[in-house]
Amino acid sequence: MTPDDLRGLGTQELHEHLVTGEPVDTDALAERVFHGTSLGLPRLLERLTWTTFIKAFHRDPELGELRGWNVRTVQPGWTPQVRRGAERSFGHFLVRPASESPAGSLAPQGLVLDYGAFYAPWQPLGRMRDPLVTLPDSNGLLLGTTLVALGSKFATPAYFCLAPGPALEVPVPAPRMRAKR
Protein backbone atom coordinates (compact mmCIF):
# COMPACT_ATOMS: atom_id res chain seq x y z
CA MET A 1 0.00 0.00 0.00
CA THR A 2 1.26 3.49 -0.91
CA PRO A 3 -0.03 7.05 -0.42
CA ASP A 4 -1.19 7.02 -4.07
CA ASP A 5 -3.20 3.85 -3.40
CA LEU A 6 -4.87 5.55 -0.44
CA ARG A 7 -5.68 8.74 -2.39
CA GLY A 8 -7.92 6.66 -4.63
CA LEU A 9 -10.02 5.33 -1.73
CA GLY A 10 -13.28 6.70 -0.41
CA THR A 11 -13.86 7.58 3.23
CA GLN A 12 -15.60 4.26 3.99
CA GLU A 13 -12.59 2.30 2.70
CA LEU A 14 -10.20 4.57 4.62
CA HIS A 15 -12.29 4.01 7.76
CA GLU A 16 -12.05 0.21 7.30
CA HIS A 17 -8.25 0.42 6.97
CA LEU A 18 -8.08 2.56 10.13
CA VAL A 19 -10.18 0.14 12.15
CA THR A 20 -8.17 -2.89 10.98
CA GLY A 21 -4.74 -1.24 11.12
CA GLU A 22 -1.86 -2.47 13.24
CA PRO A 23 -0.10 -0.96 16.28
CA VAL A 24 2.34 1.90 15.80
CA ASP A 25 5.91 1.49 17.05
CA THR A 26 6.60 4.67 19.02
CA ASP A 27 10.35 4.07 18.68
CA ALA A 28 9.90 4.28 14.90
CA LEU A 29 8.24 7.69 15.36
CA ALA A 30 10.78 9.25 17.71
CA GLU A 31 13.23 11.71 16.15
CA ARG A 32 11.65 11.33 12.71
CA VAL A 33 9.87 13.48 10.20
CA PHE A 34 6.92 12.03 8.27
CA HIS A 35 5.57 13.24 4.94
CA GLY A 36 1.83 13.67 5.25
CA THR A 37 -0.83 13.53 2.55
CA SER A 38 -4.45 14.58 3.12
CA LEU A 39 -7.00 11.98 2.08
CA GLY A 40 -10.75 12.00 1.57
CA LEU A 41 -11.20 15.76 1.42
CA PRO A 42 -13.43 17.27 -1.25
CA ARG A 43 -11.31 18.88 -3.98
CA LEU A 44 -12.60 22.38 -3.11
CA LEU A 45 -11.50 21.98 0.51
CA GLU A 46 -8.10 20.69 -0.65
CA ARG A 47 -7.65 23.87 -2.71
CA LEU A 48 -8.55 26.03 0.30
CA THR A 49 -6.23 24.19 2.69
CA TRP A 50 -3.40 21.85 1.70
CA THR A 51 -2.78 18.33 0.48
CA THR A 52 0.73 17.81 1.84
CA PHE A 53 2.27 18.57 5.22
CA ILE A 54 4.92 17.33 7.63
CA LYS A 55 4.49 15.79 11.08
CA ALA A 56 7.59 15.65 13.25
CA PHE A 57 8.04 13.53 16.38
CA HIS A 58 10.45 14.06 19.27
CA ARG A 59 10.95 12.18 22.54
CA ASP A 60 11.10 15.23 24.78
CA PRO A 61 13.41 14.71 27.79
CA GLU A 62 11.87 17.67 29.66
CA LEU A 63 8.32 16.33 29.33
CA GLY A 64 9.37 12.70 29.48
CA GLU A 65 6.95 11.99 26.63
CA LEU A 66 6.79 11.59 22.88
CA ARG A 67 5.39 14.74 21.33
CA GLY A 68 5.07 16.20 17.89
CA TRP A 69 3.98 19.07 15.69
CA ASN A 70 2.92 19.86 12.14
CA VAL A 71 4.88 21.88 9.59
CA ARG A 72 3.30 23.77 6.70
CA THR A 73 4.82 22.93 3.34
CA VAL A 74 5.09 24.53 -0.07
CA GLN A 75 2.25 22.90 -2.03
CA PRO A 76 2.39 20.32 -3.34
CA GLY A 77 5.34 18.63 -1.70
CA TRP A 78 7.29 18.46 1.52
CA THR A 79 9.52 21.51 1.40
CA PRO A 80 8.84 23.34 4.67
CA GLN A 81 7.46 26.86 4.47
CA VAL A 82 9.80 29.26 6.24
CA ARG A 83 8.96 32.52 7.95
CA ARG A 84 11.61 34.72 9.57
CA GLY A 85 14.17 31.96 9.16
CA ALA A 86 12.12 29.25 10.92
CA GLU A 87 9.89 26.49 9.63
CA ARG A 88 6.18 27.29 10.02
CA SER A 89 5.28 24.82 12.74
CA PHE A 90 1.85 24.59 14.37
CA GLY A 91 -0.49 22.08 15.95
CA HIS A 92 1.59 20.58 18.75
CA PHE A 93 0.42 17.29 20.25
CA LEU A 94 1.33 14.53 22.68
CA VAL A 95 1.37 10.91 21.55
CA ARG A 96 -0.92 8.77 23.71
CA PRO A 97 -1.96 5.11 23.74
CA ALA A 98 -5.42 4.72 22.21
CA SER A 99 -6.70 3.40 25.53
CA GLU A 100 -6.12 6.82 27.14
CA SER A 101 -8.50 8.71 24.83
CA PRO A 102 -12.16 8.26 23.87
CA ALA A 103 -11.02 8.99 20.30
CA GLY A 104 -8.88 5.85 20.48
CA SER A 105 -11.97 3.64 20.24
CA LEU A 106 -11.86 4.18 16.48
CA ALA A 107 -8.43 2.54 16.31
CA PRO A 108 -7.93 0.74 19.64
CA GLN A 109 -4.70 -0.92 18.52
CA GLY A 110 -3.13 2.40 17.53
CA LEU A 111 -2.10 5.68 19.08
CA VAL A 112 -3.82 9.05 19.47
CA LEU A 113 -2.17 12.38 18.72
CA ASP A 114 -3.66 14.58 21.46
CA TYR A 115 -3.71 18.29 20.63
CA GLY A 116 -5.69 19.03 23.80
CA ALA A 117 -2.53 18.72 25.87
CA PHE A 118 -1.32 22.06 24.50
CA TYR A 119 -4.52 23.90 23.52
CA ALA A 120 -7.59 24.85 25.56
CA PRO A 121 -10.94 23.25 24.68
CA TRP A 122 -12.26 26.58 23.38
CA GLN A 123 -9.41 26.76 20.86
CA PRO A 124 -10.04 24.85 17.60
CA LEU A 125 -6.91 22.68 18.02
CA GLY A 126 -7.86 21.90 21.63
CA ARG A 127 -10.68 19.68 20.41
CA MET A 128 -8.62 17.71 17.89
CA ARG A 129 -7.48 14.11 18.32
CA ASP A 130 -5.85 11.99 15.60
CA PRO A 131 -6.13 8.19 15.94
CA LEU A 132 -3.20 6.63 14.06
CA VAL A 133 -2.36 3.07 12.94
CA THR A 134 0.26 1.30 10.85
CA LEU A 135 -0.94 -0.19 7.58
CA PRO A 136 0.16 -3.79 7.06
CA ASP A 137 2.59 -4.54 4.21
CA SER A 138 3.27 -0.85 3.59
CA ASN A 139 6.89 -0.19 4.64
CA GLY A 140 5.84 1.79 7.70
CA LEU A 141 3.00 3.83 6.16
CA LEU A 142 0.69 5.23 8.83
CA LEU A 143 -3.00 6.05 8.44
CA GLY A 144 -4.84 8.52 10.64
CA THR A 145 -7.96 10.57 10.86
CA THR A 146 -8.53 13.97 12.39
CA LEU A 147 -11.37 13.94 14.89
CA VAL A 148 -12.97 17.03 16.35
CA ALA A 149 -14.63 16.54 19.73
CA LEU A 150 -18.19 17.89 19.77
CA GLY A 151 -19.41 17.19 23.28
CA SER A 152 -19.11 13.44 23.80
CA LYS A 153 -19.18 12.74 20.01
CA PHE A 154 -16.42 13.02 17.44
CA ALA A 155 -16.78 14.32 13.87
CA THR A 156 -14.39 12.95 11.25
CA PRO A 157 -13.66 15.58 8.64
CA ALA A 158 -10.52 14.09 7.10
CA TYR A 159 -8.04 11.24 6.83
CA PHE A 160 -4.31 11.40 6.22
CA CYS A 161 -1.35 9.12 5.68
CA LEU A 162 2.21 9.55 6.91
CA ALA A 163 5.19 8.13 5.04
CA PRO A 164 8.50 7.84 6.90
CA GLY A 165 10.87 10.64 5.98
CA PRO A 166 14.28 11.76 7.20
CA ALA A 167 15.59 11.95 10.73
CA LEU A 168 14.52 15.00 12.73
CA GLU A 169 17.36 17.49 12.76
CA VAL A 170 16.26 20.16 15.25
CA PRO A 171 13.23 19.83 17.53
CA VAL A 172 10.83 22.75 17.75
CA PRO A 173 10.38 23.91 21.36
CA ALA A 174 7.15 22.72 22.93
CA PRO A 175 4.54 25.28 23.84
CA ARG A 176 3.50 25.43 27.46
CA MET A 177 1.22 22.54 28.36
CA ARG A 178 -2.27 23.17 29.64
CA ALA A 179 -2.78 22.53 33.32
CA LYS A 180 -4.53 19.19 33.88
CA ARG A 181 -7.89 19.37 35.60
Q: Determine the pLDDT at residue 179.
A: 59
Q: Determine the pLDDT at residue 21.
A: 95
Q: Determine the pLDDT at residue 181.
A: 43
- The reported pTM is 0.92
CA distances from 105 to 24, 48, 55, 178 (A): 15, 30, 22, 24
Q: Determine the pLDDT at residue 152.
A: 66
What architecture is domain 3-167? Beta Barrel (2.40)
The beta-strand segments (E) located in the chain are: 32-39, 52-60, 65-71, 73-74, 79-80, 82-83, 86-87, 89-97, 111-114, 128-134, 142-150, 153-167
User: How many Cβ atoms from other residues are within 10 Å of residue 34's Cβ?
Assistant: 24
Q: Determine the pLDDT at residue 157.
A: 65
Question: What are the sequence ranges of the domains in the chain?
Answer: 3-167
pLDDT in tens, the chain (181 residues): 899 999 889 889 999 999 999 999 999 999 999 999 999 765 655 566 678 999 999 999 999 999 999 999 998 888 999 999 899 999 999 999 999 988 888 899 999 999 999 999 899 899 999 999 999 989 999 999 999 887 767 776 689 999 999 999 999 999 888 755 4
Q: Determine the pLDDT at residue 90.
A: 94
